Amino acid sequence: MRYAQINNELHDEHMDDVVALLCHKESNSANCDDIRRAVRYFWPYRYENLDLPGGLNAAVSLKHLGVDHDTIVSSILSCYALKDVISLEQIAHEFGNNVAVLVKSVRWMNALNESVDDVISDQKQAEYLRRMVLAVVEDVRAVLIKLVFRLERLKRLVKREHSLTQQSIAKETLSLYAPLANRLGIGQIKWEMEDLAFRCLNPQAYQRIACALEEKRKDREDYIHSFVKELKKSLRKEKVRDFEVFGRPKHIFSIWKKMYKKQIQFEDLFDVRAVRVVVNRATDCYKVLGVVHSNWKHIPSEFDDYIANPKNNGYQSLHTAVIGMGGKAVEVQIRTRAMNEHAEYGVAAHWRYKEGQTEDSQFQKTINALRQMLETTSVEDKSSADVLSTELFSDRVFARTPKGKIFELPQGSTVLDFAYYVHTDIGHRCRGAKVDGRIVPLTFELKSGSEVEILTTREPRPSRDWLNSNLGYLQTSRARSKVRNWFKIQDHTQHIHDGKVICDRELKRLNATHIGIESVSKKLKLDNTNELYASLGRNDVSNAQLVSAVVSLLNERRAGGGKPAQSKRREKLAEAAGDSEVIVRGVGNLLTQRASCCKPEVNDPIIGYITRGKGVSVHRRDCTNILNLDPSEAVRLIEVSWGAEKAPTLSVVILIQAYDRYGLMRDISAVMANHDVYITSIHTESNRDEQTADMSFKVDVQDINQLILVMDKLRQLPNVIEVSRAE
């Protein structure tokens, strides 16, 4: 059965012929059975939706490209008519997960087409769209399937009269699919799509260039073949070793683009027919050039030596044009294999030169990985290339609005970041978001391909919590800068009020209300209290800077022997959360406790004091009680040291006041466990009349930053009134 018959009437008795046509010669029976089952699903719909061609034409074209059997099966099942006939779960069950992933990606691209018509004409948006497709698609073979489907559709459309659908699909092809085919190195599909799309968009220009060529493409290909044959013969005669010669005539759209760009006539083109020679060494390039010029008359104005004078992007090659047989001009490019590799896959890649894109080394690496994946055949090579392409795309995410406009953001960006990327005012007024139709929190992390709808209020009102990195609202510096600027332009009086609220809250949270606000201002090198409040309100001074200054002052006071006063309730809670055991070395199993007067921390220089009936009390060596100890009591001192079993940590007491509810303790414990905070003791007191609970947690944290993070997360829990640290 011939390929052309696929487009004719297909009766039931032809099914076996179609299956045989689609199976590779080396295919095993299981592979052929998969193809047969896929064809059976497709068969009832083989005459429907001719404007959206079925999977058979695409499958045959893919087979000619040498793809594996999974790709052929997926192309059949990706037919638009089967979208509601067979689910992805069924496909995974019957044909395997690889086929299901491919079909899922093709269906996603089909749905994407319906929402990007308004943005495809914008060059920047078209570039984002191409990148988003490659970032979202889990298997690059799905892009190959989609490209072949688009080519088949163009072949059908070009036979029709001029229509809006024809124009729309042709524009989309030139903006999205032809560049994708070019980047993936699938030249045959690229030039066919470009010529067909150009014929739909500008039939007069297409016919004019076709007539100017004065010959059919087959004749031009035969001419190139003859020229290559003659050149190979001459190179062998001159004993040039290890060379490759290949070429093909330029297609009509490429000719038109060059004429339009350079504003020249067809007669002024010298590269309608082009040949490339690839050798091992640069010296061989000049030897080949001598052979070419000695066999054919060259055109001096068309000679360029990019080996001696490389282009700015590193491109190297010899370009010349000669008058070949029959008086026809032929362009000849001569380069080494390393130069050819650099031109095809490096920063001088041919597709970027043709599309006029700026350099993006990370994205270029991704394209190279995807091209290698298409070119490999073994499962191991495909797997490693797939992992590589995934890693290379891990630094960015592409999301779109309901109208199809696409935005490129850093990986890890939230929906609130997206709102600020859309428009500053949208970000200021953002109060919620939907991702793919589902309500999500503002901290929701975006994935490539997501459709994001921002829900806004009438008046702009950013929250200062958005600037708290521990809460995870904003991940991009661009969005944070816009929030800071909003607060900067607000009323000065309001800044002072907001700053005072922040300062009071943080001091209470750290149990540092006894520290004078003037000392905090001085620590931050601000002139007075109002300047501190205003700076906090404008976010010129961040919460983290304030906390750092307060903690520094607390440490200075503790080092000076000062002891802050505490309320009776806080004193009681803090004592209740004290040590039940302190691990020290050299005192056996004696009962130990840290002294309440100096509260030694792990790794502080310490000494033990044997009490009467209460075991060993562990003091800091600079404790005033130890320094002023009566000489008669000095015999009770004992050398102790911190045990090696316990890692260096900061031991603190966190006080929590909350409205009592079911599951409160579970939620608090979960927050601490999720942030690797070790709870050493817990004490709670409930007030049944007010339905409140006062709790103290003795915990070990890595450092002050982890403590602040955990306290921020605890404050976000429902019913929590206040979270602070006991001194």
Structure tokens at 690: 């007010």
**CATH 3.10.20.30 for domain 396-488:** yes
For residues 385 and 392, what is the distance between their CA atoms, to the nearest angstrom?
11
pLDDT for 588: 47
pLDDT tens digit string along 358-379? 555 655 665 665 566 555 544 4
Per-residue pLDDT at 586: 43
Q: Extract the tokens encoding 681.
A: 């003791």
Residues forming a β-bridge with 687:
692
Residues of the chain with pLDDT under 50: 1-8, 49-53, 347-348, 377-392, 563-568, 573-574, 576-582, 584-589, 644-647
CATH architecture of 566-583+646-727: 2-Layer Sandwich (3.30)
Do 3-199 and 217-359 show the same overall fold? no
- Predicted local distance difference test score (pLDDT) of residue 618: 87
Tokens of 562: 């000062």
Measured CA to CA, the distance from residue 170 to residue 198 in angstroms comes to: 7
Which pLDDT does position 646 carry in this prediction? Answer: 46
* Amino acid symbol at 264: I
Which one-letter amino acid corresponds to residue 239? Answer: K
Counting beta carbons within 10 angstroms of the beta carbon of residue 633, is it exposed (0 to 12), middle (13 to 18) or buried (19 or more)? Answer: exposed
CATH number of the 217-359 domain: 3.30.460.10
CA-closest candidate to residue 32, choices 54, 16, 43, 46: 16
Residue 727, pLDDT score: 61
**pLDDT value, residue 344:** 66
User: What's residue 476's pLDDT?
Assistant: 92
In the chain, domain spans: 3-199, 217-359, 363-392, 396-488, 492-559, 566-583+646-727, 585-640
CATH architecture assignment, domain 3-199: Orthogonal Bundle (1.10)
Q: Are 320 and 293 in contact (CB under 8 A)?
A: yes
pLDDT of residue 221: 79
- Model pLDDT, residue 585: 45
The whole-model pTM stands at: 0.59
The pLDDT score that the predictor gives to residue 24 is 67
